[in-house]
Structures are given as structure tokens and as C-alpha cells.
Amino acid sequence: MFSNITHIIQELALLLPGFLLGITCHEAAHGYVAYKLGDPTPKLLGRLTLNPLKHLDPVGTLVLVVTRMIGWAKPVPINARYFKHPARDMALCSLAGPVANLLLAVLLSVILALIPPQAAAWGVGSFSIMAPLVGIIKSGIVINVVLACFNLLPIPPLDGSHILAWLLPPKLAYSYEGFSRYGFILVIVLAVTGLLNYVLSPMLNAVLTILNGLIRFIA
């Protein structure tokens, strides 16, 4: 039992830095795009920040601890009434979060490719910190890809639902977004039953394959 607890703590130590970086940039990207499109709400509420404490959601963080795969932050409040083109601009704001995660995954992949392979294997001297650092970077890549793919799922109120709603006829989009009150229940059911992993796996594998190719190309 003690070894299991130690293993979980080690897993979380590798996951949490990438998770905190990912959700912070994700939510800040939502807020920044909304602000640039005319909505002052994120700035007034102090959400245009890279301080993770402003974005943490207790339930979303707990889900990460339990599943060690998915989690979420507090959504950035956005008032679409400030937008000139509400449906389109909301879709752009929604897309900004996953794009931020994918860009982070690319950046971390470049950093990983630039670390000499032998550095991670050394356990003494100036490189003694490199092995856990490489582990954190690798986990950061995966968690940011997971955050991007997870949020692109077309389940209200995830980001993918706002993008899909923009493409739907107005009446159908209104009915579709009304499902948001049940959306997270569906997500939790999918996670508990293992179906979420089944849905996400093709997207994750495709993106990670591309990033692995990038790492090999640079290295």
C-alpha cells in the first residue's frame, strides 16, 4: 500500500507542473482573445494572468488527482454581448485555449529535443536534476495534448461545443448548448467507465506521433 501511495505521489509530481502550466495558459488564452475581441470581462476579473492560483478549480484538480489523465480549470467568464459577431467570436475564444495547449506541447517538445540524451541518464554532478526534469517535460507534453484534445470534444460546455455551435443553424445551436448542464456529468461517466480514453486515444496518438517526429527531426 505504501509503495502505491509513493507511486501516485511520484506520478503527480511529474503531472502537476505541466497541468498547472497548461490550464493557466489555456484560460489566459481564452481571456486574452475575448479581450481583444471587445469583451473587458476577463481583464476586469483579473483572469488575464499567468498566476495559476487565479485559474485553479478544486473539482477539476481533484479529478486530475484521481484519474491522473484529465482535469480542468475555472472557466474564464466571457460576455458574448460585447462581440460584433457573437457565435464566431465565441468560437475563436474557445479555440484559443486548445491552441495554447498545442503550442505549449510543441515548445516542450523542442526543449526536450535539445536536451542531450545522456544528460537524463546521469545521476550525479551538475546533471543530477535532469532525469526528473526530463520526466516533467515529457509529462507536460502529454498533459497539454490531453488538455487540447479533451477540450475539443463537442460536449457542452467544453470548447469544442462552442466551435460546433458556430457551425450549426442558430436554433439547433441554441438547443445543443442547452445540454451544457448535463455535459460534465457525461464527461465524468465517460471517464469512470473508461470510454473517455477510448474516445481520446485516436486524437492523442495522432498528435503525439507528430510531436515525436518533431523531436526526432530536431535531435
Per DSSP, what are the bridge partners of residue 56?
A: 73
Do 28 and 56 contact (CB within 8 A), yes or no? no
pLDDT at 121: 59
Instruction: Please check whether residue 12 is in contact with residue 68, taking contact to mean a CB–CB distance below 8 angstroms.
Output: yes
Rounded alpha-carbon distances, angstroms, from residue 93 to 30, 35, 135 = 5, 9, 31
Task: Check 27, 39, 89, 159 and give the catalytic one.
Answer: 27
Q: Are 94 and 200 in contact (CB under 8 A)?
A: no
Mean confidence (pLDDT) of the chain: 87
For residues 121 and 68, is the Cβ–Cβ distance under 8 A? no
Q: Are 97 and 202 in contact (CB under 8 A)?
A: no
| pTM as predicted | 0.88
- Cell numbers linked to 20: 498547472
Its domain, for residue 40, covers 2-218
Confidence of residue 110 (pLDDT cuts 50, 70, 90): very high
φ, ψ at 56 (rounded to 5°): -65, 140
User: Would you place residue 119 in the very low, low, confident or very high pLDDT band (cuts 50, 70, 90)?
Assistant: low
27 is catalytic: yes
Residue 129: band (very low, low, confident or very high) from pLDDT cuts 50, 70, 90? low
Q: How many domains does the chain have?
A: 1
Q: Where residue 3 falls among pLDDT bands split at 50, 70, 90? A: low
Whether pLDDT at 123 is above 70: no
